[in-house]
Amino acid sequence: MNNKPKKPSPSIKQNLGKHQDPVGRRGNFDEVAMGFGPEEAVAEAARCLGCKNKPCELACPVSVKVPEFVDLVYKEDTGAAASKIFETSLFPAICGRVCPQEAYCEAACVLKDKFGPVSIGRLERFTADYARKNGLITPPACAPDTGKKVACVGSGPTSLSVAAELRKLGHAVTVFEALHEFGGVLSYGIPTFRLPREVVRFEVDMLRKMGVRFLKNVMVGKSLTIDELKKDFDVVYIGSGAGLPSPMNTPGEDLVGVYSSNEFLTRVNLMEAFKFPATDTPYYIGKKVVVVGGGNTAMDSARCAMRLKPENVTLLYRRTRAEMPARGEEVENAMEEGIKFEFLTAPVALEGDEKGRLKRVKCIRMALGEPDASGRRKPVPQKGSEFYVEADSLVVAIGASPNPVIQQTTNGLSVNKWGCIAVDEATGKTSLDGVYAGGDVVRGGATVLLAMKDGKAAAMAMHEKLSGKGN
C-alpha cells in the first residue's frame, strides 16, 4: 500500500469500522458491521506498539497471538496472519464478530486510555475474512492418526474447539448434532446480521477438511446415550449447550404470540422464517412487539423483530442501562435501530383476547435497592406504578438453563443444584471416567468465547488421557 503509516503510530485515531446505516439495515438481515478494507486494516495495525509483555494476548480467553498477527497484518501478509491466529484459535471469523473484545484484549491494550485501544477484534475479523475470500487459508496440519476416537456432543463453539484441538493432535473426532445444521448457537441463536451463516459453514467445512466427522440429526440422550458413546469412543465431550428457556412465571405466558427467545431466534435464524413464505417456517409478531431482558439474546431478539417490520419494538429491562449484561455495541446498535428501551420496568401479567392471543402487557416500575448475590443492585417493584404496554407478541429473553436430557439419561453423571453438569474447572472432567463437559451445559449461560475456552482446556486434558498420561 502507498503512504503506509509507520509502525507504531499509536496516535492515529482508532478506527471503529463502518456500519450499515440504522434505517436501511432495519429492512435486511445483512451484516451490520461492515469490516475493514485492506488499507484500513494496515493503518489500524500500525497503531499497535507490539508490547513485549503482550497484555492483550494474556487477556484473551483463547490466547490469540495478538501482537504477532497484528504485525503480520501490518506487513500485508494476511495469510500468515491467519495462520498465526490458527496456532491458538481456529475460529477468528467467528470470534472477530461475537467476542466482547472490549472486556478482554481491547480492555488490556495500553493505548486504551490515551488514544483508544487498537481495534483488535476488527483486525481479527479482517484477517479471517480477507484470508477466506482470497483463498489464503491453509487448514492446520494434523499429527499422524493416533487411533483414538473422540465423540463431541453438540456442534456449538465449545465442541468445535474440542474437535479442532484434538483433530490437530491426530485423534479421530466425530461431532454429533441434534439439529439439521451445525454450529449450535452460532446457527440457531446469533442472527445473521451479527454472524453470517457462510462464516459458520466455512469454519465447519475447514474442520471437515481436517478430517473431523459431522453427524446431524442425532440427539444424544435420546438417539444415543452417553453410555453407548462410551463403548464406541475413547473419550466423550458434552457440549450440549443451554437448552431450556427460563419462564417468567407470569400469568398469560401460554398466550399465542409469547415466545421464548430460543424459539423466536430459532424460527428467524435457523429456519429462516424471515423469508416466509419462500421458506416454510412461519412467525407471528403482529404490529407491536415487546422483548423482556437485558442480555445479548434480548438485543438479538429485539433487533430481529425490528427487521420483520412491525410498527414498534419495546424492550423491558428491570434494571438500568448500566447493569445490562449485553455487549455495549449491541445496545447502541439496538437503540440506533429505533428500539424503545423501558428501563426499570418488569412485566407482571400478560393479557390476551378470546382467541388466546396476546394483546397487552401489564408492567410495573422498579427502583434499584440493595446489591443482590450477583453484586448488582436488586430491582424493587414500586407499588401503584402499574401501566400497560400494547403488544401482539412478546419475546422472553431472561436466560436459559441447561438442556436436561443428557443429565437425565446418563447414570452417574453429577450435576449441580441448577442442573448444570458438575466438572473440574481446569479440565472439564465430569464424574464419569472419560467424559468431559464444557460451555453452557456447565456454565448455565455464558458466552461463545468462554465456551471455546472450556473446549480448549478440556481438549488438553482429554489429550493427556488419550496419550496415557493424566487421568
Contact 182, 175 (CB under 8 A): yes
- Residue in 76, 102, 205, 272 binding other proteins, rule: CB under 8 A: 272
In Å, how far from its chain's centre is CA 207?
19
Binding mask 387-416 for other proteins (x = CB under 8 A): ----------------xxx-----------
Q: Does 180 bind other proteins (CB under 8 A)?
A: yes
Residues 6 or more apart whose Cβ sits within 8 Å of residue 31: 20, 192, 193, 194, 196
Side chain identity at residue 94, one-letter code: I
Task: Give min distance, CB of 440 to other proteins, in A.
Answer: 11
Task: Give min distance, CB of 364 to other proteins, in A.
Answer: 23
Q: Does 227 bind other proteins (CB under 8 A)?
A: no
Q: Does 266 bind other proteins (CB under 8 A)?
A: yes
Task: Give min distance, CB of 379 to other proteins, in A.
Answer: 24
Q: Does 359 bind other proteins (CB under 8 A)?
A: no
- Please, how many CA atoms are within 13 Å of residue 89, restricted to the half-sphere of its CB? 31
- Strand segments, DSSP code E, in 217-273 are 235-238, 242-245, 258-260
- Residue in 92, 157, 191, 245 binding other proteins, rule: CB under 8 A: 245
C-alpha cell at 193: 446480521
Q: Which is nearer to other proteins, 98 or 268 (CB)?
A: 268
CA angle 443, 444, 447 (to 5 degrees): 65
Q: Which is nearer to other proteins, 117 or 191 (CB)?
A: 191
Q: Does 343 bind other proteins (CB under 8 A)?
A: no
* Helix or strand holding residue 400 (H, E): strand 400-402
C-alpha cell at 430: 465430569
- Residue in 39, 87, 280, 311 binding other proteins, rule: CB under 8 A: 280
CA angle 63, 243, 465 (to 5 degrees): 45
Q: Which is nearer to other proteins, 88 or 281 (CB)?
A: 281
C-alpha cell at 85: 491466529
C-alpha cell at 405: 436430557
Which one of the spans 25-33, 240-248, 307-315, 377-385 is the region binding other proteins (CB under 8 A)?
240-248
- The CA distance from 168 to 183, in Å, is 19
Task: Give min distance, CB of 277 to other proteins, in A.
Answer: 5
Q: Does 218 bind other proteins (CB under 8 A)?
A: yes
Task: Give min distance, CB of 156 to other proteins, in A.
Answer: 11
Counting residues that bind other proteins (by CB under 8 A) gives: 45
Q: Does 48 bind other proteins (CB under 8 A)?
A: no
Q: CA torsion, points 221, 222, 227, 230, in degrees to nearest 10?
A: -80
Q: Does 349 bind other proteins (CB under 8 A)?
A: no
Q: Does 277 bind other proteins (CB under 8 A)?
A: yes
Q: Does 247 bind other proteins (CB under 8 A)?
A: yes
- Residue in 51, 110, 210, 219 binding other proteins, rule: CB under 8 A: 219
Counting every residue written for the chain, the total comes to: 471
Task: Give min distance, CB of 267 to other proteins, in A.
Answer: 6
Residues 6 or more apart whose Cβ sits within 8 Å of residue 112: 106
Task: Give min distance, CB of 430 to other proteins, in A.
Answer: 20
* Helix or strand holding residue 92 (H, E): helix 92-98
Q: Could you tell me which of 309, 331, 329, 333 has the C-alpha nearest to residue 321? A: 331
- Residue in 5, 49, 211, 276 binding other proteins, rule: CB under 8 A: 276
Task: Give min distance, CB of 332 to other proteins, in A.
Answer: 28
Which one of the spans 54-62, 96-104, 110-118, 252-260 is the region binding other proteins (CB under 8 A)?
252-260
In Å, how far from its chain's centre is CA 368?
29
- The CA distance from 468 to 471, in Å, is 8
- Residue in 244, 348, 349, 446 binding other proteins, rule: CB under 8 A: 244
Strands 258-260 and 393-396: parallel
Q: Does 192 bind other proteins (CB under 8 A)?
A: no
Q: Which is nearer to other proteins, 51 or 224 (CB)?
A: 224
Contact 156, 174 (CB under 8 A): no
- The CA distance from 101 to 36, in Å, is 16
List contacts with other proteins (CB under 8 A). 174, 178-180, 188, 215-219, 222-224, 232, 241, 243-245, 247, 253-254, 256-257, 259-260, 262-263, 266-267, 271-272, 276-284, 355-356, 403-405
